[in-house]
Every structure is written in structure tokens, then in C-alpha cells.
């Protein structure tokens, strides 16, 4: 290389560096970006109100508090704010517990602190030694950390912090992510790369990502993580793996994140050398007792086990003629001495073809109410089939008053566009939480069942199947982050509104400019409905591609299990379409309380979004819009596509306000989403038309291809299987 060319190269490199933003906007920083507050007056105000930080005491969690607040303020206020042990001027931000901090103790907050429990926090504008100050106080160091993140959220969202009087307590005790991560690092139904857990390098190597992961969870109040897939591998319970699990647990502990594992029911045979896994066999019980003691000797705060048993080929107590309570109680007894819990899943259906799979969990579990140990929660999916784009609430909510019932949501978008579609799920989570079971009269919402208030349970929990992987931006689709975020926020407080959670997330993830917040919020709030429209409108369900569940597959039939096919669920024929779950059909409706039965049982009162879930409806039936069912179906499918196009338009209008990297990322995915939406619309309408024998209304876009074309599509290597 000549001197001249090397100088040129250098100059070019320099120019390139200068044109790059200082920090790559690749999504890695999630909602914890801490970029400088843009509004000038707010910035001034914040600088005045927070001129020094005081954190007394020492603990690993308090060290994180110090680091987080220093980093947050440095970024947001664009100036260093000293973090010390003594208050010396106006504008002190004091953080701590009465136990860790004499200054916090001197504020005499005991009455207020009593009301907020171990994990809650207070954020108060107050006086300290006669000078204006702000205090973040809690009963535990973790409460202080949660309060710290809340305070930083206020600054990130440019909120007024001059008169703060916040007290916040989680409504649900166990707020848990379920990772469907396999030991080979593939992730079942994962669309964001591979598993974060690098088992091969553990326990020796603690990846920075583990800490960043724990920090992100702490920032939204998630306090537990089940590391392994519900379709469990017993190997994780061997000593070799347990020391790796311990390393993760140690890394997560200061962030308040407890570790849980999935327990393969046949582990005593597979790794313990026993001849049986019968839960009533004393040798089996002692094997689990010893295994549990071994785990606790390594991880003293181990959370407990999550179990999928006797479902989809997994082993379980029924293999030995025992029931789910027998299985759950055996494991519960094993972890009870150390305070562990068992989360026993109700996602079960037996090997025989049922008259209606939707009825199986209720039929199997309801009779067992009152027979579980005190440290067992039954974990129920939001709906009775399987994480469909829309499902009515699961009839088990409210049906087992003597048993703590835990919610299982799916954050990963197995049936909601996987890694390519933008679907903001808070409205879906809220829809289930707000549904009224009528278990104890009007107002017996699902939320009250799971937060324990309906039946006076103190053991409470909520789980979300994680959408996190090794992709640089954690969730594959940038907007997948909003679902991780929304799950955590709702797990802490299910009364938060979807639009407010969206606004928080947008402000922190992008900026608090109203020209960004409002349009993005609108996009997010219509996105899930758009997916329902172009995939499964009017209560249709389970009509996706075979096995990988990617794309439409309403024609799927003749498989080894009828209840895994699409025709089993949509039941389209020349007369009409839909699954009759009323008395004239499977009568699944009888599993709900009478007012709900009445509502869903009559097609006239049944909310239209569930019409074909509960009824087989004639093609010419007049729906609320006055259209025939067939025409309504055509319009809904088309509306879904239009909604995606509207999202594309909205996003395109934001280019000037956003960084190139994330703008292009989302724009490209929205383009894919539009293609997939059309694919769904065209394939489903052409297929259902073979039964309805009616034309697609002439004002709607015509299908791009023939039905045969769509039916022979066979995408290979779809991720997440
Ligand atoms: C279904 C998934 C499957 C899971 C199963 C479960 O397709 O991969 O194993 O649920 O929740 O949604 O157990």
C-alpha cells in the first residue's frame, strides 16, 4: 500500500466513524437506554432536583442500585452525579431501607413501609435535614432496586418528578419467565436465535448477557426464571448440569431473579437408575427428596419445579395409574423443607382422540381441587386450546377455588406471526385478565383468581413463555421487546392499561416526542387485532401450518391425531363453519359458570370475536354488521391486511424521527408481515370458499394465487420447532 492510499483509507475510516452514531442502535440496550433527556426545561428541573445520590449500606443488590442510578443519571442528565454515603446539599436522592440506611430510618416511614410488603417501594418528594430531597425507600434491597428502575423510568419518560408520592407493590408473588430452552441451545418456539444459556461454557464462563438479562428482568419486576423447556431433559438434574445452574443462579441472585427448573417425571429412571417413577413408590419419593436436597445445597434459594406431565407424550403419574395431584404432591414434598414450590401445568390432553380437546384440562383437573399440597400451583394457559391469536378465557379460572391457579401466557409469538410479525400482546393479556369468570358472582375476573384475592390465596403466580434468544436485540423483532416488557409490567400490576404500557415502552425505547409516541402507540394497539383478522377472525382457531405452525394451513387433515388438524377445529362444510361447543355439540360451554354459558351459548349474544369458537354458523347467517357470515369473513381477512398496510404507512412517516438501524429493521419486517398477511388472507378465503361456494365481494382485493399454489407451499427449516 502506498503512503497516499493508506492516508486515504485512514481518512475514509475517520469519516465513516464520525458519521456513525456513538452507540449502535441495534436494540441491545432494550428500554434501558438512558439517553439524554431532550426537553430542555425537564432536563434543567431534573438536574436541580437530583444533584447528589446517597446510598448507605452494602450488599450485592445495593451495589447494583449504585451502579444503575449513576449510569442512568449520567446518561439522562448528561452529567456525573456523585453517589456517596452522606447528604450534603439540596437535591439529594436517597435510596435504601431502614435497615441499610440510618438516613432512611430517620425519615420515620414505617407505617408506609408496612403497607408495601417485601418487594414494594416508595418514591417520595420529601425533606432531608431541612433540604428538598427525594427518597426511594423499601423493606428490602430488591425493593430499592425496583424503585430505582421506576424512578429512572420516570426520567426516561420525561415525567414531572417535583411532587412524587408513589407506593407500589406487586399484586402477584411469582412473576416468572418460562424458557422453552433445550440443553443443545435450540429453543422450542423461539424465534430470536439460540438459547442464552451457554451450557458448554458454564459454570466457568459468565457471559455479560446473563447479567444484562437479569438486569432487564429486574427493571420490570420479573423475579423468577425457569431455565429449561417444559418438554424436559432429565440431564439438567444431574450434578454436571446443576453446578452450571448454580453459576447462573449466583449471577442472577443480586437482581432478585430466582432460578427454577423443569422436572422430567421419569428422571428417577433415566438418571437415577430406578425401575419406576411411580409417585407413590417410597424409593421414588426419596430419590426426589435427595435430588432436591442436592439442588438446595448448591442453590439455597432455588425456586422449585415446573412440570409438564402426561401431555403430548411427556411421562407423568398417569403412567402408573396415579393422578396429577399424586405427581405434584410428591415433588412438592421434596422441595417443601426448603420453601420451594411446584408449578404443575394443566396443559394436558390424553392420547385418545377427544370429542373436544378444549374440555380436557378442566375435566382432568377440576375434580382434583383441594387435593394439592400447599406449595403447588396449577399453571393454566390463558385459553383452553393453545395460545391462539384469540381464545376465550380458560374455564379452569375460577373452577378450582381451593387451589392456587397460576397464569401461563405466551410471550413468544408461536401463533401470532412468530419472529416476523409485529403484534403487541398487552391487549391480549389484558383481555384474559379482565374476563369475568362469574365464579363468585359478577366481577370475579381472571385477574382476581390469579392474584389470589378471589379465593384468599397467598401463593400466587404468573408465567410468560419467553421470546428471548441470542439475537443481538434479544427478541428477534424489535417490537418483541415490548411484549417482554408488557408481560413484566402486567405481572407486577395487572391493572395497568395496555396503552400506558405501550407509551412507557416507546418513550424509553425510542424517545418521548409525541410525534413518535402517538403513531407508534396506535400501531401497537391495533397490531394484535390485525393478526387476529388476517389469521383467525370471528373465533376461528388452530388453522396454521402443520408442526411448525408457520403460515396458514386450514386444509390440514388426516394426521395421526385428529385434534392436531385444522379441519377438527374449523369444521367447515357446505352449511357453514365453526365448532359447536354448545349442548348440541361438544358442550364445552358447560364448563363455564351459568352467566358465561348464557353469554357464549347463544350466537346472538356471543361476542362476535368468539362466534366460530362456540358455534357452527351458516354461511348466510347475518352478523352484527348486517353482512352474511361469509362476507364478514372476507372483510375481516381483508381488514387485517389493510391494518398491516396502515402500520407500514405509519412507520414510513417516522423515518425522520428514528435512527436508521431500527427504522430499517422494523420497515423490512413490516414488509414481510404484509406478505404473510396476504398469504393468510388469500389461502384461507380460497380454501373456505370451496365450502361456502360464494364469491369474494367484488370490492375486495382478489387472491394473488390459486388455492393449489398455497396448499403446496412447504416452508422448510422454520425456526423454533
Ligand atoms: C404448544 C407448543 C409446544 C409446547 C406445548 C406446551 O406448540 O411446542 O410444547 O404447547 O405448552 O403451544 O407444552
Q: pLDDT tens digits, residue range 251-263?
A: 999 999 999 999 9
Ligand 1 binding pocket mutation candidate from 347, 381, 548, 564 (most atoms within 8 A of CB): 347
Q: What is the mean pLDDT of residues 499-513?
A: 97
| CATH number of domain containing 447 | 3.20.20.80
Whether 696 maps to a domain, the answer reads yes
Quote the pLDDT of residue 10: 54
Domain interval for residue 71: 40-168
Q: How far apart are CA 19 and CA 6, in angstroms?
A: 20
Q: Which of 312, 351, 353, 355 is catalytic?
A: 312
CB burial of 378-389 (b: ≥16 within 10 Å; e: otherwise) equals bbbbbbbbbbbb
Quote the pLDDT of residue 6: 57
Write the pLDDT tens digit of every residue in 265-292.
Answer: 999 999 999 999 999 999 999 999 999 9
Give the cell for residue 187.
429453543
Q: How far apart are CA 96 and CA 114, in angstroms?
A: 15
Neighbours of 319 (CB within 10 A): 17
Whether 271 maps to a domain, the answer reads yes
Q: How many residues does the chain have?
A: 721
Is 146 in the same domain as 192?
A: no
Quote the pLDDT of residue 594: 98
- Report the alpha-carbon angle 515-643-700, nearest 5: 145
> With a threshold of 0.85, does the pTM exceed it?
yes
Cell 373465533: give the residue: 539
Q: What is the mean pLDDT of residues 161-169?
A: 98
More confident residue, 446 or 19: 446
Q: How confident is the model at residue 619 (pLDDT cuts 50, 70, 90)?
A: very high
DSSP conformation letters of 257-318: -EEEEE--TTHHHHTT--S---TTSHHHHHHHHHHHHHHHHH-TT--EEEE--SSTT---GG
Is 206 in the same domain as 162?
A: no
Domain edge (last residue) among 117, 138, 168: 168
Report residue 357 CA to chain centroid gap: 24
Whether 509 maps to a domain, the answer reads no
Q: How confident is the model at residue 5 (pLDDT cuts 50, 70, 90)?
A: low
Torsion of CA 621, 625, 630, 634, to 10 degrees: -170
DSSP 719: T
Q: What is the mean pLDDT of residues 132-154?
A: 98
Is 72 in the same domain as 157?
A: yes
**Contact between 603 and 617 (Cβ < 8 Å):** yes
Quote the pLDDT of residue 591: 98
Q: How confident is the model at residue 178 (pLDDT cuts 50, 70, 90)?
A: very high
Is 152 in the same domain as 241?
A: no
- Which residue, by CA, sits nearest to atom 11 of ligand 1? 347
Percent of the chain with pLDDT over 90: 95
Helices 141-156 & 60-77, crossing angle to 10 degrees?
10
> Is residue 8 predicted with pLDDT exceeding 70?
no
Task: Specify the ligand 1 atom closest to the Cα of 231.
Answer: 9
Q: How far apart are CA 374 and CA 305, in angstroms?
A: 14
Quote the pLDDT of residue 147: 98
- Is 312 a residue of the active site? yes
**Contact between 353 and 568 (Cβ < 8 Å):** no
- Is 431 a residue of the active site? no
Report residue 293 CA to chain centroid gap: 31
In 3D space, the residue among 540, 529, 527 whose CA is nearest the CA of residue 610 turns out to be 540
**Contact between 152 and 68 (Cβ < 8 Å):** yes
Task: Specify the ligand 1 atom closest to the Cα of 465.
Answer: 11
Quote the pLDDT of residue 21: 45
Is 163 in the same domain as 178?
A: no
Domain edge (last residue) among 145, 168, 191: 168
First and final CA of the chain: distance in angstroms?
Answer: 50
Whether 23 maps to a domain, the answer reads no
Q: How far apart are CA 355 and CA 545, in angstroms?
A: 22
Q: Which of 56, 68, 326, 414 is catalytic?
A: 414
Quote the pLDDT of residue 18: 44
Quote the pLDDT of residue 69: 98
Centre of ligand 1 to C-alpha 470, Å, is 21
Neighbours of 205 (CB within 10 A): 10
Is 279 in the same domain as 415?
A: yes
The overall average pLDDT reported for the chain is 96
Whether 475 maps to a domain, the answer reads yes
Parallel, antiparallel, or unpaired for β 165-168 and 121-128? antiparallel
| CATH number of domain containing 115 | 3.30.379.10
Whether 19 maps to a domain, the answer reads no
Is 403 in the same domain as 492?
A: yes
Centre of ligand 1 to C-alpha 311, Å, is 10
DSSP 599: H
Strand partners for 126: 133
> Is residue 492 predicted with pLDDT exceeding 90?
yes
Centre of ligand 1 to C-alpha 411, Å, is 13
Q: How far apart are CA 341 and CA 252, in angstroms?
A: 19
Q: How far apart are CA 134 and CA 111, in angstroms?
A: 18
Whether 269 maps to a domain, the answer reads yes
Ligand 1 site residues (CB inside 6 A) read 188-189, 230-231, 308, 312, 347, 386-387, 414
Number of domains in the chain: 3
Task: Specify the ligand 1 atom closest to the Cα of 189.
Answer: 8
**Contact between 78 and 271 (Cβ < 8 Å):** no
Long-range CB pairs of 716-720, under 8 A, 24+ apart, other chains included: 718/418, 718/545, 718/548, 718/550, 719/190, 719/191, 719/418, 719/419, 720/187, 720/188, 720/189, 720/190, 720/191, 720/412, 720/414, 720/418, 720/419, 720/548
Centre of ligand 1 to C-alpha 178, Å, is 12
Centre of ligand 1 to C-alpha 464, Å, is 13
Ligand 1 binding pocket mutation candidate from 189, 265, 382 (most atoms within 8 A of CB): 189
Q: In what order do the strands lie in the sheet with 92-96?
A: 83-84, 52-55, 92-96, 131-138, 121-128, 165-168
Cell 361456502: give the residue: 692
> Is residue 2 predicted with pLDDT exceeding 90?
no
Q: How confident is the model at residue 716 (pLDDT cuts 50, 70, 90)?
A: very high
Report residue 627 CA to chain centroid gap: 36
Write the pLDDT tens digit of every residue in 19-44.
Answer: 444 468 999 999 999 999 999 999 99
> Is residue 522 predicted with pLDDT exceeding 80?
yes
Is 160 in the same domain as 181?
A: no
Q: What is the mean pLDDT of residues 518-536?
A: 98
Q: What is the mean pLDDT of residues 154-171?
A: 97
Q: How confident is the model at residue 116 (pLDDT cuts 50, 70, 90)?
A: very high
| CATH number of domain containing 689 | 3.90.1330.10
Task: Specify the ligand 1 atom closest to the Cα of 415.
Answer: 12
Is 112 in the same domain as 211?
A: no
Is 190 in the same domain as 67?
A: no
Is 484 in the same domain as 410?
A: yes
H-helix segments, 97-238: 102-106, 110-114, 141-156, 208-219
Strand partners for 168: 121
Q: How far apart are CA 559 and CA 459, in angstroms?
A: 41
**SS3 assignment, position 210:** helix
Task: Specify the ligand 1 atom closest to the Cα of 188.
Answer: 8
- Is 500 a residue of the active site? no
Report residue 503 CA to chain centroid gap: 18
Centre of ligand 1 to C-alpha 544, Å, is 14
Q: What is the mean pLDDT of residues 629-652?
A: 98
Is 149 in the same domain as 257?
A: no
- Which residue, by CA, sits nearest to atom 1 of ligand 1? 386
Quote the pLDDT of residue 16: 46
Write the pLDDT tens digit of every residue in 467-487.
Answer: 999 999 999 999 999 999 999
Task: Specify the ligand 1 atom closest to the Cα of 387.
Answer: 12
In 3D space, the residue among 530, 526, 529, 545 whose CA is nearest the CA of residue 684 turns out to be 545
Whether 68 maps to a domain, the answer reads yes
Q: What is the mean pLDDT of residues 128-137?
A: 96
Q: What is the mean pLDDT of residues 236-252?
A: 98
Ligand 1 binding pocket mutation candidate from 178, 231, 348 (most atoms within 8 A of CB): 231
> Is residue 142 predicted with pLDDT exceeding 70?
yes
> Is residue 1 predicted with pLDDT exceeding 50?
no
Domain edge (last residue) among 451, 479, 500: 500
> Is residue 107 predicted with pLDDT exceeding 90?
yes
Centre of ligand 1 to C-alpha 316, Å, is 16
Q: How confident is the model at residue 17 (pLDDT cuts 50, 70, 90)?
A: very low
Quote the pLDDT of residue 350: 74
Amino acid at each position: 500500500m502506498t503512503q497516499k492510499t493508506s492516508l486515504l483509507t485512514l481518512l475514509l475510516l475517520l469519516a465513516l466513524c464520525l458519521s456513525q452514531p456513538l452507540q449502535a442502535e441495534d436494540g441491545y440496550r432494550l428500554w434501558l437506554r438512558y439517553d439524554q433527556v431532550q426537553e430542555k426545561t425537564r432536563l434543567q428541573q431534573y438536574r436541580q432536583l437530583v444533584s447528589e445520590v446517597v446510598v448507605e449500606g452494602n450488599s450485592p443488590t445495593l451495589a447494583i442500585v449504585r451502579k444503575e442510578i449513576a449510569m442512568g443519571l449520567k446518561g439522562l442528565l448528561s452529567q456525573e452525579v456523585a453517589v456517596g454515603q452522606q447528604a450534603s446539599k439540596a437535591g439529594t436522592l436517597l435510596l435504601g431501607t431502614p435497615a441499610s440506611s440510618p438516613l432512611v430510618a430517620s425519615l420515620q416511614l414505617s407505617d408506609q413501609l408496612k403497607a408495601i410488603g417485601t418487594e414494594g417501594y416508595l418514591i417520595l418528594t420529601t425533606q432531608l435535614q431541612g433540604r428538598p430531597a427525594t427518597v426511594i425507600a423499601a423493606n428490602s434491597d430488591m425493593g430499592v432496586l425496583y424503585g430505582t428502575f421506576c424512578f429512572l423510568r420516570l426520567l426516561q419518560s420525561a415525567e414531572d418528578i417535583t411532587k412524587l408520592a408513589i407506593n407500589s407493590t406487586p399484586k402477584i408473588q411469582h412473576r416468572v419467565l418460562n424458557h422453552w430452552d433445550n440443553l443443545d441451545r435450540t429453543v422450542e418456539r423461539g424465534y430470536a436465535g439460540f438459547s442464552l444459556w451457554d451450557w458448554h461454557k458454564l459454570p466457568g464462563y459468565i457471559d455479560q448477557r446473563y447479567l444484562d438479562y437479569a438486569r432487564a428482568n429486574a427493571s420490570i419486576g420479573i423475579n423468577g426464571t425457569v431455565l429449561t423447556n417444559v418438554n424436559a431433559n432429565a440431564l439438567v438434574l444431574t450434578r454436571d448440569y446443576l453446578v452450571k445452574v448454580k453459576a447462573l443462579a449466583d449471577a442472577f441472585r443480586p437482581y432478585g431473579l430466582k432460578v427454577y427448573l423443569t422436572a422430567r417425571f421419569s428422571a428417577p429412571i433415566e438418571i437415577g437408575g430406578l425401575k419406576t417413577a411411580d409417585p407413590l413408590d417410597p424409593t421414588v419419593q426419596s430419590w426426589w427428596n435427595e435430588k432436591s436436597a442436592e439442588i438446595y445445597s448448591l442453590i439455597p434459594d432455588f425456586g422449585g419445579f415446573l412440570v409438564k406431565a402426561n401431555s403430548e407424550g411427556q411421562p407423568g403419574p398417569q403412567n402408573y395409574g396415579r393422578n396429577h395431584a399424586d405427581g405434584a404432591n410428591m415433588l412438592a414434598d421434596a422441595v417443601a423443607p426448603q420453601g420451594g414450590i411446584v408449578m404443575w401445568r394443566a396443559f394436558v390432553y390424553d392420547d385418545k382422540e377427544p370429542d373436544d380437546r378444549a374440555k380436557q384440562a378442566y375435566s382432568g383437573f377440576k375434580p382434583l381441587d383441594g387435593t394439592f399440597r400447599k406449595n403447588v400451583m396449577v399453571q393454566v394457559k390463558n385459553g383452553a386450546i393453545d395460545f391462539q391469536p384469540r381464545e376465550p378465557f380458560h374455564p379452569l379460572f375460577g373452577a378450582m377455588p381451593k387451589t392456587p391457579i397460576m397464569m401461563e401466557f405466551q410471550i413468544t409469538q408461536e401463533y401470532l406471526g412468530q419472529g416476523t410479525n409485529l403484534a403487541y400482546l398487552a391487549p391480549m393479556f389484558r383481555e384474559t385478565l379482565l374476563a369475568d369468570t362469574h365464579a363468585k358472582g359478577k366481577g370475579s375476573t381472571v385477574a382476581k383468581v390469579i392474584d389470589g384475592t378471589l379465593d384468599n390465596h397467598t401463593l400466587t403466580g404468573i408465567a410468560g413463555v419467553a421470546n428471548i434468544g441470542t439475537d443481538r436485540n434479544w427478541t428477534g423483532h424489535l417490537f418483541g421487546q415490548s411484549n417482554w416488557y408488557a408481560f413484566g409490567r402486567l405481572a407486577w400490576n395487572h391493572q395497568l392499561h395496555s396503552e400506558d404500557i405501550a407509551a412507557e415502552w416507546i418513550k424509553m425505547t425510542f424517545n418521548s416526542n409525541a410525534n413518535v409516541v402517538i403513531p407508534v402507540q396506535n400501531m401497537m394497539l391495533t397490531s394484535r387485532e390485525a393478526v387476529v383478522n388476517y389469521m383467525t377472525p370471528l373465533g376461528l382457531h388452530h388453522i396454521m401450518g402443520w408442526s411448525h405452525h408457520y403460515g396458514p394451513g386450514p386444509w390440514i387433515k388426516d394426521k395421526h391425531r385428529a385434534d392436531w388438524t385444522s379441519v377438527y377445529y374449523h369444521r367447515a362444510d357446505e352449511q357453514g363453519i365453526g365448532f359447536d361447543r354448545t349442548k348440541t355439540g361438544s358442550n364445552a360451554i358447560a364448563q363455564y359458570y351459568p352467566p358465561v354459558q348464557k353469554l357464549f351459548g347463544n350466537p346472538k349474544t356471543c361476542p362476535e370475536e368468539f362466534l366460530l369458537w362456540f358455534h357452527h354458523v351458516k354461511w348466510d347467517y347475518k352478523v352484527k354488521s348486517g353482512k352474511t357470515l361469509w362476507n364478514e369473513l372476507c372483510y375481516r381477512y381483508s381488514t387485517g391486511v389493510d391494518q398491516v398496510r396502515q402500520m407500514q404507512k405509519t412507520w414510513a412517516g417516522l423515518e425522520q424521527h428514528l435512527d436508521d438501524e431500527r427504522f430499517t429493521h422494523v420497515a423490512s419486517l413490516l414488509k414481510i408481515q404484509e406478505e404473510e398477511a396476504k398469504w393468510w388472507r388469500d389461502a384461507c378465503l380460497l380454501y373456505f370458499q370451496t365450502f361456502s361456494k360464494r364469491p369474494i365481494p367484488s370490492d375486495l382485493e382478489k387472491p394473488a394465487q390459486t388455492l393449489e399454489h398455497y396448499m403446496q407451499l412447504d416452508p422448510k427449516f422454520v425456526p423454533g420447532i
